[in-house]
Amino acid sequence: MTIAAIILAAGRGERAGAGAPKQYRAIGGEPVLAKSVRAFLGHPEISLVRVVINPQHEKLYRKAVHGLDLPEPVAGGVTRQDSVLCGLEALEKEKPEIVLIHDSARAFASQGLISRVIAAVKQHRCGAVPALAVGDTLKKAENLAVVETVSREGLYLAQTPQGFPYPGILDAHRKAKHTDYTDDAAVAEAAGLKVVLVAGEKENVKLTHAEDFRKPAGEVRTGSGFDVHAFTAGDHVVLCGVKIPHGKALAGHSDADAGLHAITDALLGAIGAGDIGDHFPPSEAKWKDASSDIFLKRAAELVKEAGGLVLNVDLTLICEGPKIGPHRQKMRENVAKILAIDPGRVSVKATTTEKLGFAGRGEGLAAQAVATVGF
């Protein structure tokens, strides 16, 4: 069964105030649009994701979705409803059986929520809308003077993604052209299609006003990593991918880059994915003399597969020598490049142990790292 998703991002985000349109602003360390799109790209039942944009935002769009596997965006229209129709028409060739329509401004739609909507469309062969029962008391007022207290009995707040059999919703939207409904379920209802509700989620808010961007974003997990390598005869060491001339070398199975090893373990720790030895056993000959960026790259992939985003990495190198300071910036840039994040999110620090212990005696070097991953 083909299930497609249309992500609406053609709005101007006027209520969210000055700056880039809200779908291109950052929340939880990445653009709102990227976060919304990832939830659907990562869902096992969805095979096609089309994003509807305002062609004037094309540059912002390309930057926001960089690295995500998406087909060309669809040009939207003046109203949300126009944009949905553009998205639906763009799926004519693929003719999916089910289509989900989602506001990119809802950046926190969970995998469970998406699954519930799909399951309801499949089960009832009709529209499905995630919704929350109204909890507050409802007042009807004129000029702020209350005229009535409205019963909240049976009233729900509708969210997205809203799911529909594709042919039915395409037809309904074509018929509804030039009308002004605020969601797709209303378009479906107007065409006489049945729509059912599934449980929505409180976290699935629509970012609308500037203050919505100050909300803490999702969940943050932390991991730590630690690594030690002994010095041996040689003339240079490799730390965070930077070759540093030194009177000794670091001994190890791979290139002995303790910095990258500690960061790799920190990332694996944050997603509960074991440690570097589980993924790259030292018993396997193929990792001998391996360049450690392979390890870190793999950890970054695993974070991505787990639905996470590396928020920051902080590394401390513990040694009497070599001097780290002159190489620090290059190290940050290397790590940032491997993780595909901004160098501002990578910190590299160094300290001695005042000549105490193995590091102090120059027998070896230690590295310790902390990483945070956002979900």
> Where on the chain is the footprint of ligand CTP (CB under 6 A)?
8-16, 23, 52, 76-80, 83, 103-105, 206, 208
Residues 266-285 that bind Mg ion (CB under 5 A): none
Instruction: Report the distance separating Cα 221 and Cα 375, nearest Å.
Output: 8
Q: Where are the alpha helices (DSSP H) in 90-226?
A: 111-124, 166-175, 184-190
The answer to whether 49 and 80 are in contact (CB under 8 A) is: no
Choices 3-11, 95-103, 130-138, 147-155 (CB under 5 A): range interacting with Mg ion: 3-11
Q: Which does 369 bind (CB under 5 to 8 A by kind): ligand CTP, Mg ion, none?
A: none
The vertex-126 CA angle with 125 and 131, nearest 5°, equals: 125
CB within 8 Å of 264: residues ≥ 6 apart: 225, 276, 292, 295, 296, 298, 299
Smallest CA-to-CA distance from 11 within 207, 201, 160, 199 is with 207
Q: Which does 77 bind (CB under 5 to 8 A by kind): Mg ion, ligand CTP, none?
A: ligand CTP
The two three-digit tokens of residue 135, written as one number: 């909890």
Please, what is the minimum distance in Å from the beta carbon of residue 11 to Mg ion?
Answer: 5
Nearer to ligand CTP, 14 or 289 (CB): 14
Nearer to ligand CTP, 105 or 195 (CB): 105
Choices 8-16, 17-25, 261-269, 330-338 (CB under 5 A): range interacting with Mg ion: 8-16
Instruction: Report the distance separating Cα 205 and Cα 220, nearest Å.
Output: 18
Q: Which does 78 bind (CB under 5 to 8 A by kind): Mg ion, ligand CTP, none?
A: ligand CTP
Please, what is the minimum distance in Å from the beta carbon of residue 15 to Mg ion?
Answer: 7
Choices 6-14, 203-211, 291-299, 311-319 (CB under 5 A): range interacting with Mg ion: 6-14
Binding site for Mg ion (CB under 5 A): 11
